[in-house]
Amino acid sequence: MFSSFFNRLLLFFLLFSLVLGDKAFTGTYGVNYGRIADNLPPPESVVTLLKAAKIKNIRIYDADHHVLRAFKGSGIEIVVGLGNEFLTEMSVGEDRAMSWVKENVQQFLPGTKIRGIAVGNEILGGTDIQLWEVLLPAAKNVHNALSKLGLAKNVQVSSPHSEAVFANSFPPSSCTFKEDVLPYMKPLLQFFSQIGTPFFINAYPFLAYKNDPQHIDLNYALLEKSPGIYDAKTKLHYGNMFEAQVDAAYAALEKVGFGKMEVIVSETGWASRGDDNEAGATIKNARTYNLNLRKRLLKKKGTPYRPKKVVRAYIFALFNENSKPGPTSERNFGLFKADGSIAYDIGFTGLEPSSATSSLISLKGDGAWLVLAFTSLVALFL
């Protein structure tokens, strides 16, 4: 009896590990872990915080070794960032890209679940035209390095864009890429289409509302009940701006021949504080947006234009970052304060001494899940 029980238990664990290893993005809800601050918790505490919140997907904007070591065995999937300052160097030759991948990705695998490399951030449509020219060769060299190391199947190369790549986005069906962006965007899309990379967009209803509060319904921006908008071309109704922004990206992609490419939101969020001229930047609005968005993403449904494409998004950001330059809002996008406590309540628990010692949370990797599985199986077989 006991031999049969342990054989079945072993088989279950093997199957369980295969299922875990097969997913590149677990679920629909991720978070951006920015660290432009001098008062944040150590990465080891951040792991505890994320596991308590059941957040399994994060993005960082570099490849910090302390962070990557801290996440070893956590089971949390990470997209690392190759900063804009490295793009020119990476575009020149594959040797430098190979060195970077070996140093910042390969050596941490498989213990740390690095699932992607974001090559640059918001390059196209930005002010540095030289970076537009080197983005594609840099991305290709990084991908080629991953391929030669046998890592390309599990580590995805991407590059997130801002809304500045679009000439217009209202109504969603009218969205097009800017004419000056197209010569760089189309070959980039062609390459990403070949390697199976989605289109990543940083979509912020907050920024749209902040820039035009007289003409945008706040409830529409916050995913609250509102009259919404009607797109006459597609005959579709949009109850919130977030879905309209996602479908605008789909429309733009379709117009240049990439209608089947998936859109993933690499950043979205709402500031809880702002300057006097930053309309809508309040704790109440930040809580409303992030709570409604979390509920919407957990439903795992599509958009009006792409109802079968489940929407996935990374929230910006995990923490308020006190060293970020710019207006006050830039330092107040966090779901959590610098001490690890919640900035406002959307269902997460902050870092607390009493909860940080939880035996399941403190287990490394997927150990907590295996303990739960073991307990369930013991109850089943005995």
> Which of the residues are catalytic?
122, 267
Contact indicator for 79, 60 with CB cutoff of 8 Å: yes
Torsion on CA atoms 190, 195, 27, 208, rounded to nearest 10: -20
257-262: long-range pairs with CB below 8 Å, 24+: 258/189, 258/193, 258/199, 261/189, 261/192, 261/193, 261/198, 261/199, 262/198, 262/199, 262/309
Tell me the C-alpha distance between 193 and 262, whole Å.
Answer: 10
Instruction: Return the axis-axis angle of helices 2-21 and 367-381, rounded to nearest 10°.
Output: 150
Which candidate, 135, 65, 140, places its Cα nearest to that of 103? 65
Backbone angles phi, psi at 211, to 5 degrees: -80, -15
Distance from C-alpha of 17 to C-alpha of 22, rounded to nearest angstrom:
9
Contacts of 203 (CB under 8 A, 6+ apart): 163, 242, 245, 246, 249, 265, 267, 268
If we measure between CA atoms, which residue out of 248, 287, 153, 267 comes closest to residue 203? 267
Burial class (CB in 10 A: 0-12, 13-18, 19+), 380: exposed
Using DSSP, how many helices (H) and how many strands (E) does the chain show? 14, 12
Q: Which residues pair with 116 in a beta bridge?
A: 79, 156
Interior angle at CA 207, CA 233 and CA 54, nearest 5:
95
> CA dihedral defined by 221, 26, 49, 64, rounded to 10 degrees?
-100
